[in-house]
Amino acid sequence: MANPVILTVDDDPVVSRAVARDIRRRYGDRYRVLRASSGPEALDALREVKLRGEQVALLLADHRMPEMTGVEFLEAAMDIFPAARRVLLTAYADTDAAIEAINVVDLDHYLLKPWHPPEEKLYPVVDGLLEAWAVTPDAASAEIRVVGHRWSAPSFKVRDFLARNLVPYRWLLSDDPEGVRLLDAAGATEADVPLVVTPEGKALVAPSEAELAALAGLTVVPACDFYDLVVIGGGPAGLGSAVYGASEGLRTVLVERRATGGQAGQSSRIENYLGFPDGVSGAQLTDRARRQAVKFGAELLSAREVVGLSEAGGARLLRFGDGTEIAAHTVVLATGVSYRVLDAPGLADFTGRGVFYGAAATEAPSCVEQDVYIVGGANSAGQAAVHFSRYASRVHLLIRGADLTASMSRYLIDQLERIDRITVHPHTAVVGGAGEDHLERLTLCDTRTGEARSVDTSWLFIFIGAEPRTDWLDGVLVRDDRGFIVTGPDLLAGGRRPAGWSLSRDPYHLETSLPGVFAAGDVRAESVKRVASAVGEGAMAVSLVHRYLEAQ
């Protein structure tokens, strides 16, 4: 295997040569040293390294570059090589940039220019970072390859599953030369896509999500049959419960049906979360929370759907879709919500083929110089509009109301107004879609006049309303008329406890109508639908779990 890469980025040719020279002098026998003169050039180099299956150990980027700052480059580079150590080169006047980088890109170190003599100011820092990287090198040196058709809904599902679970993969069109070669080698045809090829050369045709999870090294089988705490759902609330439960000594397992992060994990930029003044992507926040949970000893199960909950004496039994069960003293339900389906003629036929629910970040690069339509007026829709504006020629945000003030945060409204490529269309609804093998046209309607018009587009992203995933709890827990789980004091009717309540005390604040089972985050009735509040409820649920266990 080729030597790992150290990449330096600086737009000043003199500085660029100097840092590359000093790095080569000390590490050139063990590492391949590359240098780039701009952030975009460096990103292109990283992508090329990635495609060759090589590793990147260290990134050194100057902060003041014209096309892309060092912080912006390092943030983008994290998506390609998240395990690479990151160093920012700054002048004395740029220490604020270094502090910013610590929040935004988990900066490992910053160096003030000039760094001479390197034996005192450069090499000790780099030695330490390379030693740390060598302990946990980038495990993604060889990627999963996915071969599929551009407008294949099953191909999109595979890509979306891998992307949301932060599993690196390489996407190949079925008519690309390499895609054709892989199909031939696997004895498959274009009609069989998606084809997934492992780094070891194993080929799977149209794999299930459980097969994909196992293929990607995600855990799908519980290590035990009994736990102190089972957390169902891997969004912010569930991850919060897993982190606090495991860190406080509870034997904890988190069960996620699809991918950790939930709707927040799909967000391109969360800018109002405490501690991240320059924002953080949902994927980055999710990745950090997952690593934190695992660090404390939590077990994470992927691609496992819980379909049943019952009481067995002092235990709570959870049944999976395959009929297997696990049990626990306590349960935290953090299953979140899903976007409502947009019921308009023709749209259902194109789900995954031009019609997408949520951000579907994997599709953004394919929208270059095209018109993108987004339905929804809440923060998630606004964040998606900002993200897609980096690629699309124009982003059309469709809302039923007169403006965004009733449903979107002010900072995000201001941001949308500053982006020329984004147009907000008030009083507008999607009433139909049409096309051949993918979406090609939408019919829009003015909700005031009823006047309809047709627009050409292959891209519709939907962010409307929220429905809790609680049908499987029908008859087990008290839910409101919309399916949200009722908890705590809201369960008391006229001072009376819920039917079947077996304890002499009232339900705790986040406790459901089944003692020892708690609800946190968006799935809970009357909860505040924000990432910060979901994390807070997840942590609070664990404190109530302790109180419940102590009373048993």
* 32 neighbors 5 (Cβ within 8 angstroms): yes
pLDDT in the model for residue 388: 94
Q: Is 70 exceeded by the pLDDT of residue 93?
A: no
Q: How far is residue 217's CA from residue 211's CA, in Å, rounded to a whole number? A: 10
pLDDT in the model for residue 116: 80
pLDDT in the model for residue 447: 96
Mean pLDDT over residues 125-153, rounded? 82
What is the per-residue pLDDT across 224-244, written as a single tens digit (0 to 9) for each?
Answer: 999 999 999 999 999 999 999
pLDDT in the model for residue 268: 72
What's the pLDDT band for 137 if we cut at 50, 70, 90? low
What's the pLDDT band for 139 if we cut at 50, 70, 90? very low
* 480 neighbors 486 (Cβ within 8 angstroms): yes
Q: Is 70 exceeded by the pLDDT of residue 369?
A: yes
CA distances from 464 to 74, 208, 288, 341 (A): 33, 27, 28, 8
Q: How far is residue 77's CA from residue 257's CA, in Å, rounded to a whole number? A: 29
- Helix and strand counts by DSSP (H, E) for the chain: 15, 26
CA distances from 286 to 181, 209, 262, 293, 337 (A): 36, 19, 9, 10, 17
What's the pLDDT band for 365 if we cut at 50, 70, 90? confident
pLDDT in the model for residue 5: 95
Structure tokens at 210: 């459980």
What is the per-residue pLDDT across 297-307, written as a single tens digit (0 to 9) for each?
Answer: 999 999 999 99
Give the H/E segment covering residue 426: none
